[in-house]
Structure 1
């Protein structure tokens, strides 16, 4: 691969701060964040690690399917009471009441901005849902005041309201015009409540929405048609938010190599979102993925929680950045298979840092400190499904190159850690023609695991972020090689990348 001596015209626009973000299921937020008495410091440590790399702690969207099931109960003595109905969803409650103390969770993570989700699923055509909106806007605005509010969201995936597998909340005739009418009615009430209780959040610079938060591009309601039906008639949408999953946990034929560790599958999925971005580019409003992850229905064991999913997450996020998507919120919930971390111990899932988090770390490390406002990224086509590469330019200078060798290398039996005496692990050579001004020394940082099916033993540049070591803070391990360097020879850099491995070549520190 040959890299330009200056930032190529095909590179992304400058990447805004906090590109690495998260979406947390409404019903799970108190467990991820804790409360005033018991803040979840483990979660905060993991967020701070990412903030240290990208210059800003991740922005958090609080929402998901359960925001549209949640009804307010002012007499509830604890944050949330949720009942799981396995016939509707085995992974999250679908009967939910939340109380005043729910909003304490917004106090536990310093220097963090939030998108708070209100209930449109029940609020748009149901008296109890509407009363929940009226009662909770004052509580929410007080909780996220003082600089913690990013924007509001009203409704999650309304394009599925009439077809949801968890139970339709709208008739089959539900259409874009009806959605827009109910959305405008609800956002008008939100603004009215804000004017009474938090007037400081009603200026043009402080009041706005992330919308429409549709689940897909080919569902019953279409995002472009909703926009054309007057969704932004009040000029209060500040982020165009779309949702995206590569596939489904129960879809036939979904595999680690063929679905997740496959650059072509990833780019095809993201390119569809990039087309919507182009269709709405005339608005001038930033386009984000407000909820996304590997496989919908909360992921699949052995795929979404495997090391290969961390490699997928790197490829997915960096490709999103390269096509101009301004931020990506990776979705999580308690006990979800694709989560970056499990915030508490349950009888289903052990508390801990999960494999996808290490992919989040590499994305942040690749992009670098985005608060400087001059980082751009370009996808380097390699022409092979199992490989990907990206170059980051800071200003007009090459700063980093990230290479992903996504050829599957398994080492365990069913993810149990039992050695199956596999064939030797291959390494692929990558030779890069670099600009003259990069200097003579190149720092090499590696994301490592024993194989693509590993779910433990992950390290980034010799560092572990595991809960059991230091509550999610970075811990340098002594049994992992770090500090690797190579030299530029005759304008070329050569690096060997193991199958199922990611490597960053860092030029910025050695000019």
Structure 2
């Protein structure tokens, strides 16, 4: 492998990219230092994560045999950002599961003696120690938000939830338990027949805090874990109901319970579009109109601000382009990858602390298909490449990365709603710009137009090299053929390969200005001084408790082909590098 990469590196060249003639342009003044409220706090390396439906866990981790494909894809992202992506194991099926320590298989089974309420009964699935054995296979130090069952309410509900929580604390050794959810989308419990009668935000708050109190006193406190270990309310929609943050606060959700505060994060869920719920047609064109994302998310912007005003961090633990399981030729296209990259940057500027894109083994919106299904073998979807891009962007700042929003309201005509730009800071100084052109262009269009971003990076960036990393594919509807930063990912091993060894490079002028062309249906990260992914990224020690991180004393270099190849060139030519 090393020999082949060394040989490949010999063909690398520093070039200016050759693009089609730009039709339109936009001038952007980029603040040279992190300066205002449109810039995020420092992003955690695990910021861009995944949610896994509990019933589907074994598809992603493997049963008796580990799923090395999934594990490698997650390890790639850990190498890029400095930590594995944060994983939420939660969803509807967490409210169907009960724990039985005598069931040792690495699987779940149906409960033939189910007696609980629910359209799907709250005790219909049984898991045991094998469940945590499988979960513990993810990359070392992976932070896990774990969903407990709130729907179950038989007389032994306290014993049940305590045993389940204890099993998670006792059996997870390789990954790191970060937090507990208690219940999934309780605002839908009446609809799902999980509750009847007077069920509202007040009743939920009482039930949540009662179980949190029991889990803390019997499980967390003896394990020396904090009381603020719980996330709520884990709602599907707060609009117009009693599960909004202010109402929950009025109901005592953040209040003292027997001397303890239990809520450590506000956790809400959303989807850009949802089959059977979204009124307008679900189309790729609408997904790629990024103004639509802002319109759909406007209410959640208010919720985020309200949540943060309480002093409690806000996380978006269940998100996707199309729910519940995506839509073929929309959520599995390259256009969806551009939407995903934009969404990560956008919510970072809102100070959402963490985002989990939800996955099931049969979802067209999952970043990869982990097992053979419908006669199709496992493969990597275009969305994964957006995760790789944001991971390298975050890792580029080694724990100091911040993302700011740049106004693109000046983009008009066919480009209205299709142009986005973000500033990226490391150690408080401008380091990169993320430039997105989501104007749809099919793969059949050979001579694509482009859009020019005229960037003014300030005099401190005068006469500097600017390295360009591309998120690209043949067209907006492409299901395959995506690449990021010259890399593609193998559908069998999950390993990265360097398929484009060209280094694309331009330069700022004497006043710090530079023009970057971005082809229709493409994104570019323009990074100052070195090629993104070629710097050393310190790996975070995952053995810490929730809410804190330590950098290991010995940083680890990235192991992707892009990193290895560029590092070699730097030496040779003197660069710096159930549903």
TM (norm. structure 1) is 0.87
User: Equivalent residue for 2:339?
Assistant: 312
- Equivalent residue number for residue 442 of structure 1: 466
Counterpart of 2:541 in structure 1 is none
Task: After TM superposition, list the pairs within 5 Å mapping 1:294-305 onto structure 2.
Answer: 294-305=321-332
Tell me the equivalent position of 1:410: 442
SS in 1 for 2:223: helix
Confirm or deny that 1:380 pairs with 2:406: yes
User: What does residue 137 of structure 2 align with?
Assistant: 108
Instruction: Give how far 1:120 is off.
Output: 0.6
- 2:508 is matched with which residue? 488
Instruction: Find out whether 1:232 has 2:254 as its counterpart.
Output: yes
Query: Is the 8 Å Cα contact of residues 352 and 467 (structure 1) preserved in structure 2?
Result: yes
CA shift in 2, pair 1:305/1:219, >3 Å: farther
- Contact 1:209–1:236 at 8 Å: present in 2 too? yes
Contact 2:119 2:194 in 1 (8 A): no
- 1:467 is paired with a residue whose SS is coil
1:59-78 matches, cutoff 5 A? 59-78=86-105
The secondary structure found in structure 2 opposite 1:457 is coil
Cα offset, 1:5, TM superposition = 2.5
Aligned to 2:231: 210
Classify 1:44/1:89 alpha carbon distance in 2 versus 1 (closer, same or farther; 3 Å).
Answer: farther
Pair 1:427–1:147, CA change in 2 (3 A)? closer
Q: 2:521 aligns with which of 500, 505, 510?
A: 500
Counterparts of residues 32-111 of structure 1 (less than 5 Å): 32-34=60-62, 37-78=64-105, 79-81=107-109, 95-109=124-138, 110-111=140-141
Structure 1, unmatched stretches of 5+, are: 412-420
Superposed CA deviations along residues 171-214 of structure 1, whole A, max 9, x for unmatched, are 2531111101111121122224316xx8224445xx51121111
Render the CA deviation track for 1:305-356: whole Å, top value 9, x for unaligned.
1111111001111000011111111111111110011222223553121111
Instruction: Return closer, same or farther for 1:357/1:172 CA change in 2, 3 Å cut-off.
Output: farther
CA distance in 2 between counterparts of 1:67 and 1:285 reads 24
Aligned to 2:320, the other structure's residue is in SS state strand
CA displacement, residues 101-131 of structure 1 (integer Å, 9 cap, x when unaligned): 1111232122212111101122xx2347655
CA change 1:315–1:172 in 2 (3 A) is farther
Alignment partners' CA distance in 2, 1:94 and 1:390: 46
Q: CA deviation at 1:255?
A: 4.0
Cα distance, 1:54 vs. partner? 1.5
TM-score, normalised with respect to structure 2: 0.78
The aligned residue for residue 178 of structure 2 is 150
CA contact (8 A) 1:69 1:96 kept: yes
What CA RMSD, in Å, does the superposition of the two structures yield over aligned residues? Answer: 2.6
**Which of 357, 382, 385 is the aligned partner of 2:384?**
357
Deviation at 1:150, TM superposition (A): 0.7
Asked if the contact 2:136–2:174 (Cα under 8 Å) also holds between the matched residues in 1, the reply is no
SS at match of 1:153: strand
Is the alpha carbon distance of 1:424 and 1:434 closer, same or farther for their aligned partners in structure 2, counting shifts above 3 Å? same
Q: Distance in 2 between matches of 1:497 and 1:222?
A: 43
> Quick one: distance in 2 between partners of 1:254 and 1:103?
40
Q: Distance in 1 between matches of 2:187 and 2:241?
A: 6
Asked if the contact 1:400/1:508 (under 8 Å) is kept, the reply is: no
Return the alpha-carbon distance in structure 2 between the equivalents of residues 44 and 423 of structure 1. 37
The 1-side partners of 2:449 and 2:156 are apart by 60
- Structure 1 residue 29: Cα displacement: 1.3
Q: Secondary structure at the match of 1:280?
A: helix
When residues 239 and 371 of structure 1 are mapped into structure 2, their CA distance, relative to the original with a 3 A threshold, is farther
- Relative to 1, partners in 2 of residues 1:40 and 1:267: Cα closer, same or farther, differing over 3 Å? same
Greater Cα radius of gyration, structure 1 or 2: 2
Task: Output the CA distance in 2 between the equivalents of 1:56 and 1:494.
Answer: 33
Task: Note closer, same or farther for the CA distance 1:312–1:133 as it changes in structure 2 (3 Å cut).
Answer: same
Equivalent runs, 1:161-180 vs 2, <5 Å: 161-163=189-191, 167-171=192-196, 173-180=198-205
Which of 461, 476, 492 matches 2:498?
A: 476
Q: 2: CA distance between counterparts of 1:273 and 1:117?
A: 22
Q: How far apart, CA to CA, are the structure 2 residues paired with 1:161 and 1:348?
A: 35
For the pair 1:118 / 2:138, whether they are aligned, the reply is no
Aligned-partner Cα distance in 1 for 2:484–2:148: 37
More off after superposition, 184-193 vs 319-328 = 184-193
Does the CA-based 8 Å contact 2:108-2:125 persist in structure 1?
yes
Distance 1:221 1:258, change over 3 A: farther
1:390 and 2:422 matched: yes
Structure-2 residue corresponding to 1:461:
485
CA distance in 2, matches of 1:219, 1:302: 33
Matches within 5 A, 1:254-269: 254-269=281-296
* Cα distance per residue 1:424-446 (max 9 Å; x no partner): 32222222112222342110110
1:386–1:407 contact (8 Å) kept in structure 2: yes
Q: Looking at both structures, which has the greater relative contact order when contacts are Cα pairs under 8 Å and sequence separation is at least 6?
A: 2
Could you say what secondary structure the match of 2:305 adopts? helix
In structure 2, the gaps of 5 or more residues are 1-27, 112-117, 410-415, 531-575
The 3-state SS of whatever aligns with 2:300 is helix
> Aligned equivalents of 1:23 and 1:89: distance in 2?
23
Please name the residue that 1:418 is paired with.
Answer: none
Runs of at least 4 residues of structure 1 off by over 6 A?
A: none
Deviation at 1:257, TM superposition (A): 4.6
Structure 1 98/255 Cα, relative in aligned 2: closer, same or farther at 3 Å?
A: same
Taking structure 1 as reference, are residues 82 and 446 closer, same or farther at Cα in structure 2, changes over 3 Å only? farther
Cα 1:355–1:147 shift into 2, 3 Å: closer
